[in-house]
């Protein structure tokens, strides 16, 4: 399998992880003004244990930070990821 590709899919409000043309993981988001709420993270169980959820979270959070926006993490995985990665703490809002 080739290296997975990270994509922002604006049409479906998702950050996606794709491998060989197939979506193997995603984070759903909703934007309200300057806040992007990350609501759900999912990785296909066949691809679990490879750090793909963390890769998706890093991609999504960096994109939000680089756009000058803030993030609200209602997804428990993303909330824990922010706690464990202080470089994203400055964009997190409760």
CATH of residue 54 = 3.40.630.30
* Structural domain containing residue 38: 5-91
pLDDT reported for residue 92:
87
Strands (E), the chain: 5-9, 14-19, 22-32, 35-43, 70-73
pLDDT reported for residue 1:
58
Q: Give mean pLDDT in consecutive 10-residue pieces for the chain, a chain of 94 residues.
A: 88 96 96 97 95 97 97 97 93 85
Nearest in space to 54 (alpha carbons), one of 23, 20, 90, 15? 15
pLDDT reported for residue 87:
92
Domain count, the chain: 1
pTM: 0.94
């Amino acid at each position: 399998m080739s290296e997975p590709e990270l994509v922002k899919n604006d049409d479906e409000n998702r950050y996606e992880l794709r491998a060989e043309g197939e979506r193997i993981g995603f984070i759903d988001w909703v934007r309200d003004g300057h806040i992007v709420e990350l609501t759900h993270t999912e990785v296909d169980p066949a691809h679990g244990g490879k750090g793909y959820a963390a890769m998706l979270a890093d991609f999504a959070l960096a994109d939000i930070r680089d756009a000058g926006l803030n993030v609200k993490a209602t997804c428990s995985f993303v909330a824990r990821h922010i706690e464990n990665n202080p470089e994203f703490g400055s964009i997190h809002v409760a």
